[in-house]
């Protein structure tokens, strides 16, 4: 079967990560979590005291930052300069900071190259916000996964249980702010590509979403 490049975009909490990972597993493809790269940059900025709005300082930092995504038996791991930061990037603070740095031109230009390099071999599922619109406009199959605000907040809240002491209200507020920032920024805002297949996961299970996607992928692979 033809090896494809598949993109999955959508807002926070729509189930993108679970779906992308499951789809990649079913197809024997690589799964690339591009949000983790933005989180890695945010983590780098935080630990080095770089202000998220300072493009020049961010560019200087990026010139010396080595981000790596490794597939291990413990899942996909993110490293920054060789240090494993997988767990440290999953906090509400890093979520907001990732959203802030992701609006900066220096960061988007840097990660555009990183992501295109990762996509050279195809046979991959790329998850993010601008995969189908900016990074891989010629992707073989593009999905835009969404869900109602309420469903997304509840999913995110369940995910954070045992990790961060936050209330459902805080999760909802942060998610709304992040969606607003991600959708209204000037560069590569979150929006569906014109040729994206739109799926709403509010009323169906993650397994059903994956089955639906597999059907589209099989048709595209011929």
- Position 98 contacts ligand DC (CB under 6 A): yes
Residues 152-211 that bind ligand DC (CB under 6 A): 178, 182
Q: To the nearest whole angstrom, how small is the minimum distance from the Cβ of residue 222 to ligand DC?
A: 28
Q: Does 38 participate in binding ligand DC (rule CB under 6 A)?
A: yes
Q: Is 125 in the site for ligand DC (CB under 6 A)?
A: no
Question: Which residues in the 12-31 window bind ligand DC by CB under 6 A?
Answer: 12
Closest CB 123 distance from ligand DC, rounded Å: 19
Q: Choose which of 39, 104, 152, 156 interacts with ligand DC (CB under 6 A).
A: 39
By CB under 6 A, residue 35 contacts ligand DC:
yes
Helices (H), 31-104: 34-48, 55-63, 92-101
**Taking the CA atoms of the chain, what radius of gyration do you get in angstroms?**
17
Q: Among residues 188 and 217, whose Cβ is nearest to ligand DC?
A: 188
| Residue 95 CB, nearest approach to ligand DC (Å) | 6
Strand bridging mode 141-146 / 5-9:
parallel
CB 36 → ligand DC: shortest distance, Å? 6
Q: Does 128 bind ligand DC (CB under 6 A)?
A: yes
CB 90 → ligand DC: shortest distance, Å? 8
Q: Torsions phi, psi of 85, nearest 5?
A: -115, 15
**Residue 199, class by beta-carbon neighbours within 10 Å (0-12 exposed, 13-18 middle, 19+ buried)?**
buried
| Closer residue to ligand DC, CB minimum distance, 152 or 210 | 152
Q: CB of 79 within 8 A of CB of 19? A: no
19 touches 9 (CB < 8 A): no
Tokens of residue 45, six digits: 């900025």
Instruction: Give me 92's structure tokens.
Output: 């509400």
All residues at 6 or more sequence positions from 152 whose CB lies less than 8 Å from its CB, including other chains: 11, 12, 13, 14, 175
Residues that bind ligand DC (CB under 6 A): 12, 34-35, 38-39, 95, 98-99, 102, 128-131, 178, 182
């Amino acid at each position: 079967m033809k090896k494809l490049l598949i993109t999955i975009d959508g807002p926070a909490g729509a189930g993108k990560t679970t779906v992308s990972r499951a789809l990649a597993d079913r197809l024997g493809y690589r799964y690339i979590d591009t949000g983790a790269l933005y989180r890695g940059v945010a983590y780098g900025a935080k630990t080095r005291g770089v202000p998220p709005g300072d493009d020049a300082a961010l560019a200087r930092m990026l010139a010396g930052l080595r981000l790596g995504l490794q597939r291990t038996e413990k899942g996909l791991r993110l490293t920054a300069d060789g240090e494993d930061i997988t767990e440290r990037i999953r906090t509400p603070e890093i979520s907001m900071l990732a959203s802030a740095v992701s609006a900066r031109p220096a960061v988007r230009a840097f990660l555009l190259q990183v992501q295109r390099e990762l996509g050279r071999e195809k046979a991959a599922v790329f998850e993010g916000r601008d995969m189908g619109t900016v990074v891989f406009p010629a992707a073989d199959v593009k999905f835009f996964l969404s869900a109602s605000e309420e469903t997304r907040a509840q999913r995110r809240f369940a995910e954070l249980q045992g990790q961060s002491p936050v209330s459902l209200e805080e999760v909802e507020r942060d998610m709304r702010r992040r969606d607003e920032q991600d959708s209204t920024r000037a560069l590569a805002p979150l929006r569906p590509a014109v040729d994206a297949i739109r799926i709403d996961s509010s009323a169906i299970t993650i397994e059903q979403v994956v089955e639906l996607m597999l059907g589209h992928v099989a048709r595209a692979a011929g």
